[in-house]
Structure formats: structure tokens, C-alpha cells
Amino acid sequence: MSAKNTTKVLIDGKIITLSGYESEEYLQKVASYLNNKIAELSQIPGYKRQRPETKNTLLSLNVADDYFKAKNMAESLEEDIEVKDKENYDMKHDLIAAQIQLEKTNHEIEKLKKEKDELNGKVRELSDELEEFLKQ
């Protein structure tokens, strides 16, 4: 397991010490995300006059909303990947079946070419015999 990281971050104008097993960059990214959400909410008329509990609730609701939207997107992408994987598997199966059919067809072509060559040889022999017979 990696070492626990501790870093100071600035959230809503307050310096807060965060600890976790994630990297310092990640912890800073989380703080930046929260600051962006707070700034976004601060643009709403009347938000600044709300009690701190209400502000925290609105912030929590916005973060939860982002989480569920991202989760739904991830689930949708996973479903798309599953569909694509199945399509890929089916296409590979079809390709293998086509290759097998192609090999059979090529084998049949070779067999027919040999048969044709043999028949052409017999035709020559019979033509030669006919010519000999007609010369007599």
C-alpha cells in the first residue's frame, strides 16, 4: 500500500489540511473542484445570504448530482463497451467461419483444376487416337 499523503489546500478561502493515500496533485484537484462548485453556486442570486448549513447542503447536492451523472455516464459507456465487445466477438466468429469456407472453396478449386487437367489430358489422348484412327 502507498504511503499516506498530507497536504494543505485552499477551499472557500480557508486553508484545510487533507490526508489520504492519493497523490498531493489529486487532493489539490479535489479542492479545486470544490472551489469551482462554490464559485458556481455563488453566482446564484441570494446564495450568499443563505445560512452556512444551507450552503453546505446545496454544495453537497451539487456534488452528488455530478457524481450520479458521472456514474450514469460510466454505466452507459460500460454497456456500450459490452455491446461493442459482443459485436467484435461475433465479427471474429464470422471471419473465422468465412476463412474456413474460403479454405474449403480453395481446396475444391484445386481439386477441380486437377480433375480438369486430367480430363484435358484424356481429351488429348482421345484426339490423338482419333487422328491415328482417321489416318488409317
Domain membership of residue 43 (yes or no) is: yes
- The count of residues in the chain is 136
pLDDT of residue 1: 63
Assessment of whether the complete model's pTM goes beyond 0.75: no
Question: For 69-120, what is each residue's pLDDT tens digit?
Answer: 999 999 999 999 999 999 999 999 999 999 999 999 999 999 999 999 999 9
Number of domains in the chain: 1
Question: What DSSP state is assigned to residue 51?
Answer: -
Q: Is residue 102 part of a domain?
A: no
Q: Please report whether residue 17 resides in a domain.
A: yes
Burial of 30 (0-12, 13-18, 19+ CB in 10 A): middle
Domain that holds residue 40: 1-49
Which backbone phi and psi does 113 adopt, to 5 degrees? -65, -45
Alpha helix positions (H), 1-136: 24-42, 52-135
Note whether 67 and 59 are within 8 A (CB).
Answer: no
**64 within a domain of the structure (yes/no):** no
Report how far residue 131's alpha carbon sits from residue 76's, in angstroms, rounded to the nearest whole number.
80
Residue 101 counted as domain residue:
no
Chain center to CA of 111:
44
Domain annotation covers residue 33: yes
Grid cell 453556486 in the structure block, residue:
41
- Please write the tens of the pLDDT for every residue from 26-45: 999 999 999 999 999 999 99
Residue 59 falls inside a structural domain = no
